[in-house]
DNA sequence: TTGTAAGCGTTATCAT
DNA sequence: ATGATAACGCTTACAA
């Protein structure tokens, strides 16, 4: 463990500069010396110490990604794609999960910059001007995914508001007269990344203004399945669609439906958000909103790398397209 | 970006040794100096360069994990738990995915040691004496998860063979007369981690010897759903159970069943392996084999850390318990 | 073709 | 209480 250039130099009876030149395939070394150096290096199992190299060159070729956890399958898919793209571009990827505290989030970010990551991908839960200031003061390029923090920081996202509007239009077009919107408790702001849910809610409510015939109610609670009871008791009265801000909510509700012999879409319509990959195993196929996660990953990584390697970095807000998947549950 | 101790020293008019003492809360600094140093450091936004520190101390407090991809949900859950445990122990975690080539796997491992990760977790696809030699020559502690490579390298696993035997016993006890074992193509050895599948096959066949009344056939192909046709055509003749070496296979087959009005377990029994978390959304509940992934993660991380920090490291084979989950599909 | 020497930003030892 | 100096392992002018 830990053969250095110096040792090789000593053994070969040359200076470490020469060894270095041989090792790095540079010119100005005699063939004889080069061969000998390479031989000895191989013999001893020499490996360059990338810490030392980085300390010198100022480059680590490493990116970091900071996020809440891996419970969200859509994030896992994105993460995987990010890893692939980063590796393709010659960067290694570091992952840090922080549970759900804003302080922990900042600590992880700080740790990454201390380790001299060259750029950071962030699916942030923190927000506000102090956090913005914190990110800007890092001196390291940051690209946010999903959540918007500041105009000064590039963000890759989809137009959640528009997606929600389109969802409402689809529901309205199918003759539903009541929409129940299911999302996480909006008070969780500090504990969870709920920016996208709020965006969806905005879009939904804005669109509803154009559909006076649609009644509306929201369930923003952890026990959403229980809270659905009054809705389910009145299914016969009014044709109802449940719009879930996340496929997992829809899956839980569908499981409940199956247990209680409630048929979809016959008795009630249901729609999700995200199009997580496991949906393909669920029958009936859930109607949902899909984003191309590979696309998000590639765009985010490339934006980050261009900030790292580019001359001048202008923060951009990149909005990627989504698609309504009209399947079987609506 | 890049305020160093030297700059602070210059500004404060003291040596960098003194600055260091103040910064690291050591003794032998006057209160006045200490306060001034801390003030200036804060002012300039000083952050230690962990690369430099590591180069010096020889410690990076970083672990690496190398695996195929994130398609396997059971791995994602393990990964998440590993991250948590590593962080709890003060280590940061690096992830590298390699697709499915043995060379890529070795490259990732090499890259990690070059970066001076202190230990490596590995869910290996490579095997054989050369690979063993490769791992041993790294000079860095390695712990394998799932797949066994060598007695010289600690491995954390479950007793797949025993689990398969127990699965067969359960199936036999329920009166089935035919078992169809579904697993990935066994020729994929080099492309995919199939050690566990082979173990299961061994266990299954060993146990079958004790149940002469059970007929047996294996489907080890990517188009396993199609290949099931002859089996499905003869369901009326013999009570059949399909044992899948992985829940995903079972899910795909169940989806096919639903589309073709085949009822489980009335018409045919089906059982999986792994107990991936999405099973909770699937109706009927799949009978399967469960491992405690948190347990695997904690044990693997701690074994690795004890090899890093411990005096003498003896390679261990750690077998963790599993559980048969007798649910609704058998 | 080869070597010397300074530097990257820390830590650690030994003086003063 | 403070400082000078060497060291970690590499890179990179600049000499010879």
- The alpha carbon of residue A292 is apart from the nearest alpha carbon of chain B, in Å, by 16
Tell me whether residues A51 and B54 touch, CB distance under 8 A.
Answer: yes
* Cα–Cα distance, A309 to A270 (Å, whole number): 46
DSSP letter assigned to residue A63:
E
DSSP assignment of A203-239: HHHHHHTT-TT-EEEEEESTTHHHHTHHHHHTTTTS-
A44 CB inside 7 Å of strand D: no
- Give per-residue pLDDT as tens, A188-219: 665 566 888 999 999 999 999 999 999 999 99
Candidate from B47, B60, B97 with C-beta closest to A113? B47
Residues of B in Cβ contact (< 8 Å) with A135:
none
Tell me whether residues B92 and A96 touch, CB distance under 8 A.
Answer: yes
| Two structure tokens written together for A103 | 């302080």
A27 CB inside 7 Å of strand C: yes
- By mean pLDDT, which of A66-80, A280-294, B209-223 is the weakest? A66-80
Nucleotide nearest to A7 (CA to C1'): D9
Closest CA to B156 of B299, B274, B291: B299
**A82–B contact, CB cutoff 8 A:** no
Helix H, strand E, coil C: the string for B272-330 is CCECCHHHHHCCCCCEEEEECHHHHHHHHHHHHHHHHHCCCCCCCEEEECEEEECCCCC
**A80–B contact, CB cutoff 8 A:** yes
CA of A8 to C1' of C5 (A): 19
- Give per-residue pLDDT as tens, B127-164: 899 999 999 999 999 999 998 999 999 999 999 999 99
* Cα–Cα distance, A291 to A274 (Å, whole number): 7
* Cα–Cα distance, A85 to A93 (Å, whole number): 10
The tens-digit pLDDT sequence of chain B (330 residues) is 689 999 999 999 999 889 988 998 888 888 999 999 999 999 999 999 999 999 999 999 999 999 998 988 889 999 999 999 999 999 999 989 998 789 999 999 999 999 999 999 999 999 899 999 999 999 999 999 998 999 999 999 999 999 999 999 999 999 999 999 999 998 876 556 688 899 999 999 999 999 999 999 999 999 999 999 999 999 999 999 999 999 999 999 999 999 999 999 999 999 999 999 889 999 999 999 999 999 999 999 999 999 999 877 799 999 999 999 999 999
Specify the pairing of strand A288-291 against strand A322-325: antiparallel
CB A253 within 8 A of CB A224: yes
DSSP assignment of B72-135: -HHHHHHHHHHHHHHHHTT-EEEEEE-TT-HHHHHHHHHHHHHTT-SEEEE--S--HHHHHHHH
Residues of A in Cβ contact (< 8 Å) with B52:
55
Candidate from B55, B110, B281 with C-beta closest to A55? B55
Residues of chain B numbered 85-144 and touching chain A (CB < 8 Å) = 87, 92-97, 110-111, 113-116, 137, 139-140
* Cα–Cα distance, B48 to A113 (Å, whole number): 10
- pTM confidence score: 0.90
Tell me whether residues A55 and B50 touch, CB distance under 8 A.
Answer: no
CA Rg value for chain B:
26
CB A20 within 8 A of CB A13: no
A57 CB inside 7 Å of strand D: yes
- The alpha carbon of residue A290 is apart from the nearest alpha carbon of chain B, in Å, by 19
Give percent of chain A above pLDDT 70: 98
Residues of A in Cβ contact (< 8 Å) with B80:
69-71, 97
* Cα–Cα distance, A308 to A303 (Å, whole number): 9
Query: Region A54-67: what's the mean pLDDT?
Result: 96
Closest CA to A108 of A87, A125, A92: A125
Helix (H) or strand (E) holding B6: helix B5-12
| Two structure tokens written together for B211 | 């149940």
The residue assigned the tokens 């399945």 is A225
Indicate if the alpha-carbon torsion angle B90, B96, B102, B104 is positive or negative. Answer: negative
CA Rg value for chain A:
26
CA of B206 to C1' of C14 (A): 69
pLDDT surpassing 70 at residue A93: yes
β-partners of residue B243 are B181, B271
- The alpha carbon of residue B264 is apart from the nearest alpha carbon of chain A, in Å, by 15
pLDDT at B190: 58
* Cα–Cα distance, B154 to B316 (Å, whole number): 5
Nucleotide nearest to B57 (CA to C1'): C11
| Inter-helix orientation angle A195-208/A160-173, to 10° | 40
A178 CB inside 7 Å of strand C: no
Specify the pairing of strand B62-67 against strand A92-97: unpaired
pLDDT at A20: 87
Query: Region A147-151: what's the mean pLDDT?
Result: 92
Q: Which residue has the higher pLDDT, B189 or A66?
A: A66
């Amino acid at each position: 463990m830990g053969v250095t250039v110096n040792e090789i130099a000593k053994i070969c009876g040359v200076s470490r500069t020469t060894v270095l030149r041989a090792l790095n395939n540079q010119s100005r070394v005699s063939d004889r010396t080069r061969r000998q150096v390479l031989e000895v290096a191989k013999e001893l199992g020499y490996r360059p110490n990338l810490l030392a190299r980085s300390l010198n060159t100022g480059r680590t070729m490493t990116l970091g990604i900071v996020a809440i956890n891996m419970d969200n399958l859509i994030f896992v898919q994105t993460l995987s794609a990010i890893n692939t793209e980063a590796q393709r571009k010659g960067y290694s990827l570091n992952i840090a999960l922080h549970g759900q505290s804003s302080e922990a989030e900042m600590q992880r970010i700080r740790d990454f910059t201390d380790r001299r990551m060259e750029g950071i991908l962030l699916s942030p839960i923190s927000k506000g001007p102090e956090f913005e200031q914190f990110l800007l003061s890092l001196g390291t390029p940051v690209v946010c995914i999903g959540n918007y923090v500041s105009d000064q920081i590039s963000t890759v996202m989809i137009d959640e508001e528009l997606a929600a509007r389109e969802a409402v239009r689809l529901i309205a077009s199918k003759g539903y007269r009541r929409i129940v919107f299911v999302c996480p408790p909006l008070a969780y702001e500090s504990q969870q990344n709920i920016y996208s849910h709020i965006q969806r809610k905005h879009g939904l409510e804005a669109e509803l203004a154009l559909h006076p015939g649609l009644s509306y109610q929201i369930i923003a609670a952890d026990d959403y399945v229980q809270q659905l009871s009054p809705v389910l008791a009145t299914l016969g009265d009014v044709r109802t669609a449940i719009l879930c801000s996340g496929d997992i909510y829809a899956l839980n509700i569908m499981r409940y439906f199956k247990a209680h012999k409630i048929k979809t879409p016959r008795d009630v319509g249901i729609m999700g958000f995200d199009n997580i990959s496991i949906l393909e195993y669920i029958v009936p196929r859930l109607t949902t909103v899909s984003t191309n996660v590979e696309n998000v990953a590639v765009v985010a990584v490339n934006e980050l790398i261009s900030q790292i390697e580019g001359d001048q970095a202008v923060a951009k807000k990149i909005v990627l397209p989504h698609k309504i998947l009209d399947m079987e549950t609506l």
